[in-house]
Structure 1
Amino acid sequence: MDKLRQKDYFLFASAMYSQPISCSSLVEQATSPFVSFHQRLGCFHSDWHQHEWGQLIYAEKGCIHVNSRTKQILIPSGYGVWIPPDTDHEIRSTSSQTNIRSICFPVADNNGSLRQTISVFPMSTLLREMIRYTNRWNQGPVDEAQATTFLQTVQGLLPEEIDKAVIVYLPSTTHAKLLPITTYIQTHLARPINVQWLASEFGLSVRTLSRLFRQQLGTSFSGYCKIARIMRALELIELGCDNVSQVATDVGYESLATFSNNFLAICGHRPLQFIHSKRLY
């Protein structure tokens, strides 16, 4: 079995043995005005849920996927994601090494920047240590006034963190003609994907297919493929592939320079720089 097939098998097997987690019950059963959750979960999937509190998640190890009704989002290890209040979402991971840290808390009504959209960003050292600190709240009595002040400080830091947001998400669709096409793209990223061939294969004209991508997904066909390939590259890196040339090939790039430039444009780092930075977390 070649390396790419081994990685695909690993992802499939992980999904088959995924443990269910009820995030909604964690919030509903909370006796304090916040929830602090720190656990090595491995492969898991949550229920679809929403809550009145905002949620900050830190992927300490392993990739975490967050799906909203309009986006499929990837959070690489070392990155954080902010989920605004009242956002319907689910959380999952196919990594056996997943270590997740999360805090949920009320958001001030006048903090509009934290009520807009899901954002993924590289965690600063300060915010990373602050979310780790909240694990203490699970180990004994908590001074709620002190915790509230602490979380207000976190809220004050988040807008600056969100300003560093990266585009590691794909727009979602339920469109009857487009859904099978996006599914095909995501499962054949190692192969060249030609818009002319794909349109013909699914019984559409190139013009119609291009229009569907723009109207339904808000992006071009090539833009969708670029983000899908980089997100897949991030998953492969999380699985331990640290050979940049191999990763580029496995996600369908013939040019290493193009792969590196696209990776930089989306993630803010060159692939090798990203791989090296992971060793610091």
Structure 2
Amino acid sequence: MQNDIIKCGLTEEANSRFVDRIGKEAYVWCEKDWKHDAHEHAHHRAQFTFVEEGYQYFHIDQKIYLVPQHHVIWIPSGKAHRITSDAKTVNLMVFLFKTVFKEDFYRNVHVFAVPPVLKEMLLYASKWNQQTEEDEEQDLFFKAILKSLPNLCKESSNLEIPVPADIRLIPVCTSINSNFKYSLNTDELAEKAQMSVRSLQRIFKKETGITLQKYLQLVRILKSIELIDSGQFTLSQIAYKVGYRSLSAFTSSYQTIMKAKPRVKI
């Protein structure tokens, strides 16, 4: 078909479903300056994406996962996902596996920082970029990567923003996302949800698993990552732009979420 779209070796034919015409068990697709289309899609291969530069948001089920630089995401086969990013440059390595091991790990979405040993393995694997013919060394090496993931994964569960199913809470989340620089006004948020403050706090925690204040903190830190990626601001400027009154308060909050201190690009 002339209108087929090829992504990472998979052919998109209709309804954002991808047809797999590659015979081998696993392969890697390295992509510099990745272009996003923001369409939800699914495919029959499990996907393992390493963000070498920039950041991506993966919209999966009722959550938005942030995958910043030097992090990876595991997506089981058949799981519909949508990808967005405002990063200036996004360089990726996408591994696609036809079959996986039986452990529970491979049935769920995971995001985690890349440990040094795995990073070296992934970079070495780039030599097989877009290679679709059989290669014994590559097959064994990729199987070793796949098998090691449950042991190397120290999940960064804080890098996900829950999306509530209760439609009354959508205006609340929208308001926080738009006004993250400011302190929470729970009375105003409760009015948007057409419920009492106490009901809002209870229902929001039940729906998302986190408090309104924690949601605000997550949004602020994710926005700070976007500003850090732009390379246009100092950390002090970023702290102010995302609503913190001091660099130390921002650094503490950032370290709580990211398990590392913020660093501007050099």
TM-score, normalization by structure 1: 0.80
Q: Which amino acid aligns with 1:70?
A: Q
- Name 2:183's counterpart in structure 1: 192
Distance 1:127 1:138, change over 3 A: same
- Name 1:177's counterpart in structure 2: 168
- Name 1:9's counterpart in structure 2: none
User: Out of 169, 192, 205, which is 1:214 matched to?
Assistant: 205
User: Out of 244, 259, 262, which is 2:235 matched to?
Assistant: 244
- Name 1:230's counterpart in structure 2: 221
Distance 1:119 1:129, change over 3 A: same
User: Out of 64, 67, 87, which is 1:72 matched to?
Assistant: 64
- Name 2:105's counterpart in structure 1: 113
Cα deviation, residue 22, structure 1: 5.0
Cα deviation, residue 31, structure 1: 3.0
CA distance in 2, matches of 1:50, 1:201: 34
Distance 1:208 1:88, change over 3 A: same
Root mean square deviation of aligned Cα: 2.5
Q: Which amino acid aligns with 1:185?
A: I
Distance 1:258 1:96, change over 3 A: closer
Paired residues of 1:48 and 1:89 also in contact (CA < 8 A): yes
CA distance in 2, matches of 1:172, 1:22: 28
- Name 2:15's counterpart in structure 1: none
Cα deviation, residue 185, structure 1: 0.9
User: Out of 245, 248, 252, which is 1:254 matched to?
Assistant: 245
CA distance in 2, matches of 1:222, 1:212: 14
- Name 1:103's counterpart in structure 2: 95
CA distance in 2, matches of 1:102, 1:165: 19
**Percent identical residues:** 26
- Name 2:195's counterpart in structure 1: 204
User: Out of 107, 114, 128, which is 1:123 matched to?
Assistant: 114
CA distance in 1, matches of 2:106, 2:23: 24
Paired residues of 1:78 and 1:122 also in contact (CA < 8 A): yes
- Name 1:132's counterpart in structure 2: 123
CA distance in 2, matches of 1:140, 1:253: 47
Q: Which amino acid aligns with 1:113?
A: F
Q: Unaligned regions of 5+ residues in structure 2, if any?
A: 12-17
- Name 2:259's counterpart in structure 1: 268
CA distance in 2, matches of 1:265, 1:226: 10
Paired residues of 2:87 and 2:226 also in contact (CA < 8 A): no
Q: Unaligned regions of 5+ residues in structure 1, if any?
A: 1-19
User: Out of 21, 44, 49, which is 2:36 matched to?
Assistant: 44
CA distance in 1, matches of 2:19, 2:158: 28
1:134-173 equivalences under 5 Å are: 134-138=125-129, 142-173=133-164
Q: Which amino acid aligns with 2:84?
A: R
- Name 1:58's counterpart in structure 2: 50
Superposed CA deviations along residues 83-135 of structure 1, whole A, max 9, x for unmatched, are 2333221222222311111101145342222223x222221233223223333
SS in 1 for 2:58: strand
SS in 2 for 1:55: strand
Q: Does 1:90 align with 2:82?
A: yes
